[in-house]
Amino acid sequence: MNPRKSNPAASIKLIVYGMPLFFLLLTFGAMFKDKLYTSPNTLTVSAALRPHQQHCNVPAGIISKLEPLIAEEPLDVWEGLGKEESHIKYLPSMTDLAAKRRFIYIDLGARDYDSSIGSWFEKQYPKQNKTFEIYAVEADASFHAQYRARPGVTLLPYAAWVRNETVVFGSKPIVAGSKVWRMRPFGRIEGEQAAEDGMSAVVRVAAFDFVEWLRRTVTADDFVVVKMDVEGTEIALIKDLVRRDAMCLIDELFMECHFDRYVKCCSGERINRFNFSYSQCYHLFKELRDMGSAVHQWW
């Protein structure tokens, strides 16, 4: 027989003080779970957007004929790989474009005309004698003047983004030891933090809803080529394209996936800019190809 008697007052106190603590623990658990599983730069397309995925209607066997993706991170020479590699399998070299209504090239992060439009798309991309409408999307005002002398190019002087708003771009120093190696550009993903560090040169620019614009500008009957080099914003843009069922409006995509790479000035060190690894980039490309997107690695 237990000689101890129950204490109703103690039980009530346990309930009164214990329940708030219990719900507080649940709240922290939910916050941690959200941070762990919904960070914008750690989720793959399939994990984040599986309910929204579509499969692009590409000719049978085309995706398997594209050049193999580079699975291992290039640690030495990486600049220029995307547009200089001779083994790139362009879509027009494998399929007839005669059934398409219009032909459109969109350069996201165009910079100057010869950065990729003049040096790569005009000279190297196979066009089957088709005339392409060209859109240069570039938020940096220092490049805008030269496009006035390019009647075949429409300049969109904004940053491509997932909605219409103002975002921060600029440049910040890479410090090697006690010396500044160079100023490197950064995109929206670093903008707000850099605006407060006292070392970076920042500028606020207008951004536009790329998916909304794409839907107004092209149709499934058009042949659309996109080059995407947007300093880390590509992750958000790709997710938005998939989520809003617009990914398949792009027939061929050349995308640079920005990741925390080794700095060429400082052996063994990585730039911690994007919170994204090369392995994650590789799997992003693979998932896009699995959904029927003719995507190429751009460097």
For residue 276, name the pLDDT band (cuts at 50, 70, 90): confident
174-193 pLDDT, tens digit per residue, is 555 555 544 455 554 444 55
Measured between alpha carbons, how far is 113 from 123 in angstroms, rounded to an integer?
12
- Domain span at residue 225? 39-169+206-297
Is 266 part of any domain?
A: yes
Is 186 part of any domain?
A: no
Measured between alpha carbons, how far is 184 from 178 in angstroms, rounded to an integer?
17
SS3 227: strand
Q: Which residue has the higher pLDDT, 112 or 35?
A: 112
Is 94 part of any domain?
A: yes
120-174 pLDDT, tens digit per residue, is 999 999 999 999 999 999 998 989 999 999 999 999 999 999 999 988 766 655 5
The CATH number for 267's domain is 3.40.50
pLDDT number for residue 262:
60
Is 63 part of any domain?
A: yes
The span from the first CA to the last CA of the chain, in angstroms, equals: 79
Is 200 part of any domain?
A: no
Residue 23 reports pLDDT greater than 50: no
pLDDT number for residue 173:
56
Is 179 part of any domain?
A: no
Is 21 part of any domain?
A: no
- Mean pLDDT (whole number) for 95-113: 97
Backbone angles phi, psi at 170, to 5 degrees: 160, -150
Query: How many percent of the chain have pLDDT more than 70?
Result: 62
Structural domains of the chain, count? 1
- Mean pLDDT (whole number) for 205-224: 97
- Mean pLDDT (whole number) for 71-96: 75
Tokens 């120093």 correspond to 173
Is 92 part of any domain?
A: yes
- At residue 208's C-alpha, the angle toward residues 202 and 211, to 5°, is 135
Q: Give how far Cα 281 sits from Cα of 51, 103, 145, Å.
A: 21, 28, 34
Give me the sheet containing 153-156, strands edge to edge: 153-156, 133-137, 103-108, 223-228, 252-255, 294-297
What's the whole-model pTM score?
Answer: 0.75
pLDDT number for residue 196:
55
Q: Which two tokens stand for residue 203?
A: 């500028």
